[in-house]
Structure 1
Amino acid sequence: MSEQGYADKRAYFDRMLTLYGRKPALEALRDKALECHALHLAHSNREGGIVGELINAAEQRGIPVQRHSREELARISRNGKQDQGVALDVICPAFQSVGGYLDTLDSARPQRLLALDGITNPQNLGMIVRSAAAGDIDGLLWARKGNAAPGPLVVKASAGTLYRAPVLTCPELPGALEQCQRHGFDVCTLESSAQTDLFAYQPQRHCVFVLGNETDGVSSKVSRLAQQKLSIPMNNGVESLNVAVTASLIAYAGRIERG
């Protein structure tokens, strides 16, 4: 395979989201707007009922059905306890690796990214995805290490916008942030003790806004990388906001910055 062919193949698989569970897979298969790569089934599944519906839906759309041992299926789904013997590869057109995004970065237009630093609640993740897709965010930096996986609970909480969201994947967040810094990004963390107001901050360069863990906030490793620390003004003794609400404020603060 040529170097370009390898790059194209890798970019294709970077756009792939693997769902698990029978009902989420069936809903995705029935959505003609979604491109599906393959349906994966465990040999142990009985052919009737919803499994039969899955097979029929895949065959009607010309989507390959691949059979696996229970152990192989668990490796594909990455959640053997909850996958119900079913996984489905969905192609999400706006997904890409952070490296691929940076290689084609439009340096003329300041970019605004959201980064996830230990967000483990799928409900929060889904709402963050929805805000990022709806608001003024150019990419959602999603590290596989430390964050919840983009599974069916996240899809549900995002109201399906996960399939269209500009997700940038990476193995772990600190290394990805350092990559961004080398491409001219400032790293901004949201911390309650920061003196600079989010709404007064007007970045002159590309910017990554980091959302920390629901309980512990931004990790120390990421905090040390930050060039700017921001806070959200609070009244009436309120100490903090839900991380998904914070994401919404960041997403729409960009409308003010960009006019």
Structure 2
Amino acid sequence: MEETTRIFGIRAVIEAIESGESIEKVFIQKGLAGSLFQELNRHLKSGSFTVSYVPIEKLNKLSKGNHQGVVANISPISFISLNDLVESVQNKGTIPLYLLLDGITDVRNFGAIIRTAECCGVDGIIVQEKGSAPINADTVKTSAGAVFKVPICKVDHIKDALFHLQTYDVKIVAATEKTDDTVYDIDLKQPVAIVMGDEAKGVSNSILKLADFRAKLPMLGEIASLNVSVACGAVLYETVRQRS
């Protein structure tokens, strides 16, 4: 899986961009120059690509071939636009259920969340272009193939996605410990978008300010927090319970 989703060489990466491939990340050798690199750079600046400038040793580990100073990871899935996602959900005639991930960077957690989301009938998962876990071999494996079944959307900013969803009367529910309300106090039978945050930092304050509701899971033991994929499963299955 890893080898089939990784390409190397400046021309190969340019052609992948021009053909509309879903590129997860581009690794570029520090100090790289030349006319062909300038052409690649123009392509990268024309879109929302995650670029990392690394030493040549890093590229040598990523690729066994002549990488020419550039290696790119291609996602094994195609992403859906936010507009297309929302329109398709509206046309289904069911109660919308979206899942937004704010700063989830661990690929195995991401994969486990995708798997649970598919089991719970989530209409679509929305992540931020930068600062989110990639979809690679580990993500696919941990999701047990669910990554190919749940529409996934990448946006420039999570906040913009929330504003867009709210125009469709979708209520934003942020999972956070910064509240007295538990998830059992929230009406999840209405159109909702559930926001899960990074384990260390949680949902960012800027997102919390936009949320219509804040909800936490009751913690009865001595450990103060759950793994984010487990917490996400608990929240999603409460949604399933309420809607059943």
Looking at structure 2, the residues matched to 186 and 258 of structure 1 have their Cα atoms a distance apart, in angstroms, of 15
- Asked if residue 153 in structure 1 is aligned to residue 138 in structure 2, the reply is yes
Among candidates 218, 222, 229, match of residue 237 of structure 1 = 222
SS of alignment partner, residue 245 of structure 1: helix
Matches within 5 A, 1:65-84: 69=11, 72=14, 76=23, 78-80=25-27, 81=59, 84=63
SS of residue matched to 1:246: helix
Which aligned segments of 4 or more residues in structure 1 are displaced greater than 6 angstroms?
none
Q: CA deviation at 1:214?
A: 1.7
Q: Aligned partner of 1:119: which letter? A: I
User: Take 1:77 and 1:220, find their aligned partners in 2: how far apart are those partners?
Assistant: 27
Match of 2:122 in 1: 137
In 1, the alpha carbon distance for the partners of 2:226 and 2:148 equals 27
Q: Could you list the runs of 5+ residues in structure 2 that have no partner in the other structure?
A: 18-22, 28-58, 64-70
| Residue 190 of structure 1, aligned match among 172, 175, 198 | 175
Separation of aligned partners in 1, 2:183 and 2:170: 17
The C-alpha deviation readout for 1:104-136, integer Å capped at 9, x for no partner, is 442753211110000111111111111111123
Match of 2:81 among 97, 118, 122: 97
2:208 is equivalent to residue 223 of structure 1: yes
Matches within 5 A, 1:13-32: 21-22=2-3, 25=4
How far the C-alpha of 1:141 sits from its partner, in A, is: 1.2
- In the other structure, the counterpart of 1:167 is 152
In structure 2, the CA distance between the partners of 1:70 and 1:176, relative to structure 1 (3 Å rule), is same
Identity %: 24
User: Does the 8 Å CA contact 1:184/1:205 hold for their aligned counterparts?
Assistant: no
Q: How far does the alpha carbon of each residue in 1:194-240 deviate from its partner, in whole angstroms, 9 at most, with x for none?
A: 22221342235311110011201111111110110001011123311
8 Å contact from structure 2 (residues 104, 197) kept in 1: yes
**Partners of 1:77 and 1:105 in 2: how far apart?**
25
Determine whether 1:202 maps to 2:193. no
Shift of residue 90 of structure 1? 4.3
- Rounded to whole Å, the distance in 1 between the matches of 2:220 and 2:181 is 16
Deviation at 1:79, TM superposition (A): 4.0
What secondary structure, in the 3-state scheme, does the structure 2 residue paired with 1:106 have? Answer: helix
How many angstroms does 1:40 deviate by? Answer: 7.6
Taking structure 1 as the reference length, the TM-score comes to 0.67
Q: What's the TM-score, normalizing by structure 2? A: 0.71
CA distance in 2, matches of 1:91, 1:123: 17
CA-based RMSD = 2.8
Deviation at 1:74, TM superposition (A): 9.5
Paired residues, what number?
Answer: 199
Q: Is the 2:189–2:242 contact (alpha carbons within 8 Å) kept by the matching residues of 1?
A: no
Contact 1:146 1:172 in 2 (8 A): no
Distance 1:211 1:69, change over 3 A: same
2:238 aligned partner:
253
Please state how far the C-alpha of 1:250 moved relative to its aligned partner: 2.0
Output the CA distance in 2 between the equivalents of 1:202 and 1:40: 44
What amino acid maps onto 1:101 in structure 2? Answer: L
Inter-partner Cα distance in structure 1 for 2:180 and 2:7: 53
